Structure 1
Amino acid sequence: MKTVLVVAAHSDDEVLGCGATIAKHVTEGDQVHLLVLTNGVSAREGANDTDIASRELALSNAAKTLGIHKVVQCDFPDNQLDSVALLDIVQCIENKTQGLSPDIIYTHNASDLNIDHQLTCRAVQTAFRPQPDCSVKTILTFEVLSSTEWQFTEQKFSANWFVDVSDFIEQKITAMQCYQYELRAFPHPRSVEGIKILANYHGMRIGVSYAEAFQVLRHLT
């Protein structure tokens, strides 16, 4: 059994980025933990306590759908992680994962358009820097539809690790539907059709029906 840690800036990123891979880990007997750094909605105009509670319920339901063992929700400001000292984010991750000893970590890609995603990646790399007593053998970064692909710069997400999730794509869709108010109508990328098209595209790249793609930051054998 492997211990898997997913660190996401916002609830729903875990589903969009690696939801089907999470479900596959659970089916294979691995234990998956999720750390979410912000409430995901407080930056929106008119957001209130009811919106925050609704988002927390969606997170809980999505986690149950995927089989996540434990969810920890932090309270950093949504879409304003650049207003927080990086050290504070790093120390929060270290404190919330103390004693966990993950083997594999999934998190955001540093070249993402969203500033919260960028800083989450930096904080994870710092919190789990490769010291002699670090348990982490693999760190993989994921893409988040309607964010990662909108970064039009030379530095972009470049997939070099693929997971066959053909048997888990519907479970991912069901989990994403827990965040119904985050879904959009096609051709918006954050739609049911968009999620399946991306997974189908990555699947074609490795000869399967559906796949999730990642960029390797660390892999020790």
Structure 2
Amino acid sequence: MNILVVAAHPDDEVLGCGGTIARLTQEGHDVYIAILGEGITSRYEKREEADQTLVKELQGRCEKAAGLLGAKDLFLYGLPDNRFDTVPLLDVIKIIEGLIEHLQPRVIFTHHGGDLNIDHVIMHRAVLTATRPVEDQSVREICAFEVPSSTEWSFQQFDPTFHPNVFVDISKTVNVKIKALSCYDTEVRAFPHPRSPEAICAISRRWGTVVGREAVEAFEMIRSIR
């Protein structure tokens, strides 16, 4: 089964569903990762002031993380970091439509729509638009993931709030997720920041307690056609 993970920024794919990606690839599924935003450039007052060497290094870290997770392929795009709202929504949709046409995925994992980060919100909207359930649509399931330090920091002030109803046991792959996250050393923070390894483990264990498992990644099923 072809599965597509569509993320806004480098590290979102690991934070949101790294353990699930590793589990699915170990089970023999072909998982493809698409990261639409360039990352880093929002730290500069003007995008054109960004150090392109650092952008290239970040792309290399994406490739290393994807390799650790066992991804079949990685697609990187150059949308402006934390400035997706300056890009016509249609342009974002077209990228995703092209990926779907090329890969014919049955399942898509992407951002939740009630997130604090504007890029994450736009990604969610674009994915839903690109996967309209017309007759020849290959996508049968869409699952939305949370991104620690972004989804929960909306403090349920933006609708819809994250209500997970699908849980993937990552007890055997949570260590792979942490190892992949370590590729993004510029994004990882010290505990108790949500993007610290300790917090990532704690989050997976917390969701695990909800469904009686040691470590879990939680998702909200947006649509499932069976």
TM-score w.r.t. structure 2 length? Answer: 0.95
Unmatched 5+ stretches in structure 1:
none
Matches within 5 A, 1:37-186: 37-45=36-44, 47-152=50-155, 153=157, 155=159, 156-186=161-191
Secondary structure (helix, strand or coil) at the match of 2:55 reads helix
Unmatched 5+ stretches in structure 2:
none
Secondary structure (helix, strand or coil) at the match of 2:218 reads strand
Contact 2:42 2:82 in 1 (8 A): yes
Deviation at 1:40, TM superposition (A): 1.0
Deviation at 1:44, TM superposition (A): 1.2
Aligned equivalents of 1:128, 1:33: Cα separation in 2: 16
The change in CA–CA distance for 1:135 and 1:120 in structure 2 (over 3 A counts) is same
Q: Structure 1, residues 73-94: CA drift from partner, whole Å, max 9, x if none?
A: 1111110000111111101211
What amino acid is the match of 1:141?
A
Aligned equivalents of 2:171, 2:90: Cα separation in 1: 39
User: Is residue 208 from structure 1 mapped to residue 213 from structure 2 by the alignment?
Assistant: yes
What amino acid is the match of 2:27?
E
Q: Which residue of 1 aligns with 2:192?
A: 187
What amino acid is the match of 1:99?
H
- Quote the RMSD (CA, aligned, Å): 1.0
Q: Structure 1, residues 119-159: CA drift from partner, whole Å, max 9, x if none?
A: 00000011111001111111000000100000021631111
Q: Which residue of 2 aligns with 1:199?
A: 204
Deviates more, 1:144-153 or 1:44-53: 44-53
Deviation at 1:187, TM superposition (A): 0.7
Aligned equivalents of 1:214, 1:17: Cα separation in 2: 9
Contact 2:112 2:121 in 1 (8 A): yes
What amino acid is the match of 2:165?
N
What amino acid is the match of 2:187?
E
Aligned equivalents of 2:32, 2:102: Cα separation in 1: 12
Q: Which residue of 2 aligns with 1:3?
A: 2
Deviation at 1:96, TM superposition (A): 3.4
Deviation at 1:100, TM superposition (A): 1.1
Secondary structure (helix, strand or coil) at the match of 1:183 reads coil
What amino acid is the match of 1:103?
R
Aligned equivalents of 2:61, 2:197: Cα separation in 1: 17
Deviation at 1:98, TM superposition (A): 2.3
Contact 2:114 2:158 in 1 (8 A): no
Aligned equivalents of 2:221, 2:122: Cα separation in 1: 17
TM-score w.r.t. structure 1 length? Answer: 0.97
Q: Percent identity?
A: 45
Correspondent of 1:218 among 214, 218, 223:
223
